[in-house]
Each structure stands twice: as structure tokens, then as C-alpha cells.
């Protein structure tokens, strides 16, 4: 974060206004100094999600309990005059294993369905974690490594077919728009670019408070955000969406203004901050996987002590670490409406 530099009049002199120093130049100098000194408070919020030039190969250490996109297939090229129906798909997270259990808590997974009028074939497109949610949210503390090790990637999955029962039984399968084959093909090219450059998953939305208009520090990057980005792209390409209510799950953390701490090298490297490195690893230790019942209960107490009592949270975002001074109500899961976009709405970013 930018900090004010030393302002020692003994170095370089030139503090008094001489004959050739116009008042407007002093005004500009003072404005520059004020900007430099106010660097931390003028940081861009929310912090922009970092995109990459390519998707790296996953580390062999990272193993998924459930194979990512097992029936995936390339996105087909549609005939330009085809009429493609677009469906909103939503179901409880891990519905295949727990049924509607998480649906009662409104913890939902989002996807998009397509149906070709010419061929009668339908397709599902979704974006989710390569190594399950826990690996994307918290790191592994490997004894042979000084820094926390992250198995965090998310990606798009496209496959033929829509499992009607999976989406309808405890969720949603509803027509939201109709597009041409040409529009579908343009969207497919955008999905490829989006998928190659947006490579990691982010669970949390971090805000200053639950009140409307509160400052957002960090945005999540998950299945619902992929759906929303795709809807916006389709609207930009001319799609007209139906007027129906669309709600999405969001998981919030609430904190005061975050403090930037550094990246893996600056914190955990040979010349890093050993005290800070230890504090970060201690914070993440209770979140480790494969705990016994006794260890799990103890971990819950440790997490409560860190986040609620001491009001501390260490966030890993854009492959950098941030400190969050937590505030009441600390964490909240919401299921809130985000309207479908209007036609030709400008898409920001990709």
C-alpha cells in the first residue's frame, strides 16, 4: 500500500517559493502530496479480480474427491439460424449426495442450460471448483513447505444433456431467454476466453456491513458469478431476458478496511516476516481437512476464538494475503435477488 515518503526540507531544499515558482505549481505539488499520503484510503474497492494469460496445470498433490467435469465435451458450433432456448438452472449444493439438505439453508449451485430447436439436443454449462469447495477456501499446511499450499482452481464445464430431475426436484429449471445460433457461437468464444483467464475460485464476498450501499472490499468469484457474467454477455449480444425473479446464494464476511500484507514470497520467503507467517499459519490450522470428531470440535472453538473473539481473518485473494478486522455480524449467508440483465447492457471487463 502506498505510504507517504520522507518530507525532510534538509534534503534537496527548495521549500521556499522563489521568483520562478508559480502558485499553480505549488497547488499541483500539494495535490500530489495529498494523493500520495492518502494512498491507503484511496485503494480501489472492491479489489479487482486478477486475470491471467493462461491456465496452469494443476499440481499432482491436489486431488478431487469427485472428478471435475467427468462427461465434459467441447461446445458445439450451432447453425446461425438455429433457435436456442436458454434455461436458468439451480439446485442445492451437493444435491447428488445430500438431497435438499443445503437447500433449506439456501446454499445453491447455479448453471445454464441450452436447447437447440434444430437438433433437439440440450446442454448444460456450469463453472465450479476443480478440487471441491474446501480446497478453494482454505489451504493445506504441508510440513515440507513453509508457506500454505493452495489447491484452488475453478473452471467451466460443458456437457450434452440436462438432468431434469437433478435441477427440478429441489431447485429450478426455467426458460429465461431465446437466442440465435449465431449469438450462441459468439457466447461460446467469450466463454473460452473467460475460462482461460479467470482461473481461481473465491468463496467470500467481503463487505463493511450488511447495510445497503456498504463498501464492498472483495467480490466472490464462483458458480453464480459465472452465470451472471454469461447472462450479461448474452444481453450485450442482443438477448432479451424474461421478467422473472432470480435469486443467488452469497456468503459474506464483514470487516473494517482490509490491510494488505503481501504475497507468498514477501511473507514466507527467506527474508519474509516470520511473525506474520506464523500468525497466518496458526489462523489456517483449524481449517485443515480430515479431522477426527474431537479435533473438529476443538477446531470450531479455535475458529470462534480467532474470528469472533479476536475479530481476525486472513484472506487469500489474487494470490496475496490480506488482514480483515472482523465486525459484527461477522459472517452471513444470503439468498438475494439479482435481476436478469436488460438487452444490450454494456458488459464490464470480459
Catalytic position from the list 136, 151, 157, 223: 223
Q: Where are the beta strands (DSSP E) in the chain?
A: 83-92, 108-116, 122-129, 154-160, 172-180, 205-207, 216-218, 247-255, 259-263, 312-317, 320-337
Rounded to an integer, what distance in angstroms lies between the CA atom of residue 118 and that of residue 179? 13
Rounded to an integer, what distance in angstroms lies between the CA atom of residue 248 and that of residue 115? 23
- Phi, psi at 258, each rounded to 5°: -65, 155
User: How far is CA 77 from each of CA 180, 183, 186, rounded to the nearest angstrom?
Assistant: 12, 11, 10
Task: Provide the phi-psi class of 309: left if phi over 0, else alpha when psi is between -120 and 50, else beta.
Answer: alpha
CB 177 within 8 A of CB 242: yes
Rounded to an integer, what distance in angstroms lies between the CA atom of residue 317 and that of residue 261? 11
- 151 is a catalytic site residue: no
Rounded to an integer, what distance in angstroms lies between the CA atom of residue 230 and that of residue 225? 9
Beta bridge partners of 174: 88
Catalytic position from the list 104, 109, 140, 166: 109
CB 121 within 8 A of CB 115: yes
Q: Burial letters for 24-38: b for 16+ Cβ neighbours within 10 Å, e otherwise? A: eeeeeeeeeeeeeee
- 223 is a catalytic site residue: yes
The residues assigned a catalytic role are: 109, 223
Amino acid at each position: 500500500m502506498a505510504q507517504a515518503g520522507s518530507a525532510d526540507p534538509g534534503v534537496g531544499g527548495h521549500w521556499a517559493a522563489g521568483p520562478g515558482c508559480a502558485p499553480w505549481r505549488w497547488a499541483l505539488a500539494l495535490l500530489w502530496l495529498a494523493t500520495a499520503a492518502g494512498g491507503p484510503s484511496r485503494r480501489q474497492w472492491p479489489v479487482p479480480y486478477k486475470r491471467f494469460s493462461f491456465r496452469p496445470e494443476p499440481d499432482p498433490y491436489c486431488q478431487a474427491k469427485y472428478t471435475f467435469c467427468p462427461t465434459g465435451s467441447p461446445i458445439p458450433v450451432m447453425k446461425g439460424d438455429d433457435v436456442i432456448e436458454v434455461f436458468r438452472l439451480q439446485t442445492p449444493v451437493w444435491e447428488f449426495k445430500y438431497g435438499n439438505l443445503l437447500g433449506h439453508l439456501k446454499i445453491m449451485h447455479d448453471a445454464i442450460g441450452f436447447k437447440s430447436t434444430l437438433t433437439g439436443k440440450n446442454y448444460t454449462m456450469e463453472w465450479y471448483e476443480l478440487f471441491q469447495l474446501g480446497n478453494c477456501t482454505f489451504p493445506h499446511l504441508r510440513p515440507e513447505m513453509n508457506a500454505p499450499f493452495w489447491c484452488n482452481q475453478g473452471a467451466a464445464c460443458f456437457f450434452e444433456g440436462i438432468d431434469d430431475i437433478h435441477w427440478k426436484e429441489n431447485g429450478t429449471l426455467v426458460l429465461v431467454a431465446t437466442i440465435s445460433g449465431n449469438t450462441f457461437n459468439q457466447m461460446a468464444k467469450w466463454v473460452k476466453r473467460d475460462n482461460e483467464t479467470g482461473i481461481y475460485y473465491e468463496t467470500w464476498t467481503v463487505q463493511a456491513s450488511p447495510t445497503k450501499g456498504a463498501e464492498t472490499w472483495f467480490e466472490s468469484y464462483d458458480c453464480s458469478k459465472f452465470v451472471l457474467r454469461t447472462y450479461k454477455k448474452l444481453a450485450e449480444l442482443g438477448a432479451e431476458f424474461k421478467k422473472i425473479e432470480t435469486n443467488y446464494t452469497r456468503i459474506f464476511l464483514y470487516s473494517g478496511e482490509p490491510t494488505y500484507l503481501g504475497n507468498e514470497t514477501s511473507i514466507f520467503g527467506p527474508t519474509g516476516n516470520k511473525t506474520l507467517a506464523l500468525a497466518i499459519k496458526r489462523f489456517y490450522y483449524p481449517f485443515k481437512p480430515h479431522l477426527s470428531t474431537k479435533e473438529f470440535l476443538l477446531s470450531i472453538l479455535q475458529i470462534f476464538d480467532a474470528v469472533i473473539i479476536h475479530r481476525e481473518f486472513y484472506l487469500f485473494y489474487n494470490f496475496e494475503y490480506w488482514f480483515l478486522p472482523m465486525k459484527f455480524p461477522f459472517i452471513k449467508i444470503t439468498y438475494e435477488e439479482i435481476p436478469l440483465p436488460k438487452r444490450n447492457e454494456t458488459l464490464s471487463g470480459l
